[in-house]
Each structure stands twice: as structure tokens, then as C-alpha cells.
Structure 1
Amino acid sequence: MSNVQAEKDGWEARARVGVVVPHADVGPESEFQAIAPDDVFVHGSRVHFGAMRAGGEMDPKIPHDPVRAFVEPPLIDDAVELLAASPLDVIALGFTSSAYVLGADGERALFERLARRTRGIPLTGTTAAAVSGFTALGARRVAIVNPPWFDDRLSGLGSAYFTEQGFAVVHHGPCGLPSNQKLITPEALSDWIRTTVAGHRPDAVLVAGNGIRAVGVVNALECELDFAVLTANQVLFWHALHLAGAQEAARRITGYGRLFELAPAEARPQPSGAVA
């Protein structure tokens, strides 16, 4: 009998999370993996996004036509189907602005369409996850901090989305930071939230946009301020884990906000024999 001790080889996953991202964006995968426990693995699929160039470059304000085109068939449908061919536990759409443009009804129709390609694997998206997160937190007054590459009209559509879901949006707008993913720092984002949002006294703030660097500031801001802090990738990953039935893995996550102490109402039951 061999006494060789095998090293970790990546097959010991408690949960596997698939994420669909714009072709030149590394934000969702980077932040998911930063948050993830050692036994949760992230698998990405990419879809062409017409407002993004090689290297992640974008215009200072992204046009709306490519935002809508990102979720039109056939590219995203094919990407979801190919991702769902893998033995995954959940699929997440790492894109915020398309839901703003579609509205809540259009987003539901998108999920219904894509569900026909997922082999029954649960599917979620950023804004749907944020609604679930706000609800789990008992937040009614919310603030939405959008990326600087969202224009005022797109930000207004986001406010309308959350208002339609029954929340009072006490502040929304593009943050006043450089419109460049690589130039947004945790320190600058924290200062913006502290000086621009805190005075509106929200129950919770959402830093929207999956391409904005944000998860690293959640814990520090919640310790300082008297409201919950959600970010696009943090809340999407939280929701995905619960839909995957990986509640135990979610509860092991610390340092990324009080949200991980809670479960969404629609959480999938844990498999029998799972550790509580």
C-alpha cells in the first residue's frame, strides 16, 4: 500500500461557480477568487462586449447599444450553454448594466431564456442578487454607486430598476473617479462613499458594476459606517453560493461584509449529509 501523500490538485471542490463575463474584463473572476474559500472554484466564460477593447480599455462613458447587445442572442446563450456543459453547481452573469437597460421584467425574460440552456443549473445575475441581498439585510433605503463609465441616464435606469423592486433609492450616480478600471483604488472608492453617500443615511449601499475594483473595501467601510456595503461581485458570489447549495462554504467567508452571515430567502437546500 502506497504511503505517498497527494498534494491538492484542484479536484476537491465543495462547489464550482461558473461566471459569464465581458471578453476583456477580469474583474468578476478576480474578485470571486479573492473571496472564495479554498474548496470553491471559479470557472469563467467570455462574451464579446462591443464597448470594451483589448486590455480592458473603454470609452469614458460606455454607449448603451453594446450594453443591450451583450445579452441578446446568440452569443450569451451559447456561452451559457457551453459553460453549463461542465459539472458546475451554479452560473452567474457578471454584468450589471444590461439589467439596468432591460429593467426587471426584461431581466426575468432573459433568465427564462437562458435557463433553457443550463441543464437545470441555477442561474443568477448581479442586480437580482442585489435585490436578494438587500432583502436579506432588511434594507429599504439604498444607495447605488455606479462606475464612472456609466452615464447619468444609465444610472437613472439603475435607480428605476431598484425602485420598481420596492426600494427607496436615496442616492444614485456614477462615482467621481477616473473612468479606467486600472486607476480605481480601494482608498479612492472608500473616500467617495464616505464623503458622498454616507450623508444620505442609507440602510445599505451597492457598488454596482462588476468591472469596478470594490470588494477589498467592504469590511473596513462596514466597520466605520452604520450601513451595510454590497458590491456587484460580492453579492453575486454570495447569491451564487447559496443557489448552489453551498451555504456552509458561504458562512466560512469572513472579511467581505455582514452579508455572508445571512442567507437569501430562495437559497437552495443543502445536499443531505452536508455540514451545517
Structure 2
Amino acid sequence: MSSIRAQKDGWEARARIGVVVPHADVGPESEFQAIAPDDVFVHGSRVHFGAMRAGGEMDPKIPHDPVRAFVEPPHIDHAVELLAASPLDAIALGFTSSAYVLGADGEKKLFDRLAQYTRGLPLTGTTAAAVAGFTALDTRRIALVNPPWFDDRLSTLGADYFTEQGFEVVHHGPCGLPSNQKLITPEALSQWIRSTVAEHRPDAVLVAGNGIRAVGVIDALEQELGFAVLTANQVLFWHALHLAGAADAARSITGYGRLFTAEPPGGRA
């Protein structure tokens, strides 16, 4: 009896990462999968976000009430529980602004609450991952480039979050690009960072907001400007891989920043 030569079928996973995203946002899954090695797979779960409409449309500045509501029970709890029922290795929350609004203590309480539904799987979020990334790279002076749909108050809350964690925030603010996910280009984002952030001489910059198109510019900016470049989805994916016990997969990733050569403090959670 002859054997067959089977084609790849998606079951040969080295790691499976689950990600919870706003219902109308494709950014986290798209950028995770762009970075991922061929044998790392991404699985999404969606939660309604009151500041987004069908097709990914948003107001020029998102109100804060829907941001807070996104992480209140029961909807995100159910999404995490359903996602954790799958044979995954880690779960990531693909949302930045809720942690800004909650603050570090509120974010920890959120993680503690969601841990009831994760079936023991490790869980991370964008800002927690960024703290791990900044620490792994031994950076202290940081700049925050926030999406144009964040208002100044939300940006200040983000600066407060990282200041509480012991970092010196040398610059923060919503970037001056169109407040429309589909209109933000790698070229425009790169130019904004060159013209607005580089003069502050940070050790690292975080392009926050999981809905902003950003991972494609990381490598070129690091080579040109000399400081580390982290983005919401890049650092979230890096941290999730390490929490999943897939450090070898993380180390195999090239072209998306020096972060992937670093190990998070404490290793696997």
C-alpha cells in the first residue's frame, strides 16, 4: 500500500495564540499573522466596541465610556472563556486604550478577573507586554505615539500608566495622521516618528493602539534612528509567544525589531 504525501493543512502548529479584539478591528490578527512563523497560528475572538461601526469606522476621537465598557463584564469574560476552550497556548488582549483608562492597578484587577475563565492559559495585554518589552530591552526613557483617534486626555492617561511603572515618558500624544485606520500609511507614520519623536532621544518608542498600521516600519526605523521601536501588536505577539512557551519561535522572527532577540523578565508565566 503506497503512502500519500500530504500538503500542509494548518494542524502542524508549534504554537497557537488567541487574541481578543474589538468587533470591527482586523489590525491585531493581520499584524500577528504577518509576523508569525509559518507554524504559529492566530485565533481571534471578538467583543463589541461601542466606538466602532461596521467596516471599522470610528469617530475622529473615541469617547472614553465605550473604552471602559469594552473590559467590563460580561462580554469580554465570555469571549475569553470561549477562546480558552480551544487548544491554545496563550491569550492576548488586542486593545490598548482600556488599560490607559483603568491604570496599572485596574488592569491587574482585570487580569485577575479574567483568569477565572482562561482554563489556566497565560493571559497578557498590550500595555503589560510593553512594560515587559521595555524592561527586557533595558530602556527607561520612552516615547508614546498614540493613534489619532485617542484624545489628549487618553494620551495623558497612557503616560501616567507607564510613569507608574517606573519609566520616564519623554514624549506622548496622538499622532497627527488621519483618524481613519484605512488612511494611515507606513510612510506617513515613519515620517511622524522622525519629525516629532526622534528629537526627544528616547531609548524606545511605543506606537500604541492595536488598530494602527505599524509593524511594517519597525525594522527600518530602528536602523535609521538607533532607538528601539515597539508597536502594540508586535510587543503583544512577542509576549504571548514567550508566555506560550514558544521562545524558539519568537527568536526565529527577523525583520520586526530587536525586541525578538530579547527575553521577557521572569520567562514564561
Q: TM-score band, normalised by the shorter chain?
A: over 0.9
Following superposition of structure 1 onto structure 2, how do residues 92-241 of structure 1 map, counting pairs within 5 Å?
92-241=92-241
Q: Distance in 2 between matches of 1:114 and 1:168?
A: 30
SS at match of 1:16: strand
Deviations 1:92-115 (A, max 9, x none): 000000000000000000000000
Alignment of 1:75 with 2:84, yes or no, is no
Contact 1:243 1:266 in 2 (8 A): no
**Aligned residue pairs: how many?**
269
Q: Distance in 1 between matches of 2:113 and 2:94?
A: 17
Q: Residue 261 of structure 2 corresponds to which residue in structure 1?
A: 261
Q: Distance in 1 between matches of 2:264 and 2:140?
A: 16
- Tell me which amino acid in the other structure corresponds to 1:165: Q
Contact 1:251 1:260 in 2 (8 A): yes
Q: Distance in 2 between matches of 1:268 and 1:60?
A: 39
TM-score w.r.t. the length of structure 2 is 0.99
Following superposition, the deviation at residue 267 of structure 1 comes to 1.9
Following superposition, the deviation at residue 265 of structure 1 comes to 1.2
Following superposition, the deviation at residue 4 of structure 1 comes to 1.3
Q: Distance in 1 between matches of 2:232 and 2:3?
A: 46
SS at match of 1:177: coil
Following superposition of structure 1 onto structure 2, how do residues 15-94 of structure 1 map, counting pairs within 5 Å?
15-94=15-94
Unaligned runs of 5+ in 2: none
TM-score w.r.t. the length of structure 1 is 0.97
Identity of counterpart residues, as a percentage? Answer: 85
Q: Distance in 2 between matches of 1:266 and 1:50?
A: 36
Q: Distance in 1 between matches of 2:117 and 2:2?
A: 44
Following superposition of structure 1 onto structure 2, how do residues 8-19 of structure 1 map, counting pairs within 5 Å?
8-19=8-19
- Tell me which amino acid in the other structure corresponds to 1:175: C
Contact 1:132 1:264 in 2 (8 A): yes
SS at match of 1:116: helix
Q: Residue 274 of structure 1 corresponds to which residue in structure 2?
A: none
Q: Distance in 1 between matches of 2:58 and 2:2?
A: 55
Following superposition, the deviation at residue 3 of structure 1 comes to 2.5
Q: Say what the alpha-carbon RMSD is for the aligned residues.
A: 0.7
Following superposition, the deviation at residue 226 of structure 1 comes to 1.4
Unaligned runs of 5+ in 1: 270-276
Spell out structure 1 runs of 4+ moving beyond 2 A.
none
- Tell me which amino acid in the other structure corresponds to 2:267: A
Following superposition, the deviation at residue 268 of structure 1 comes to 1.6
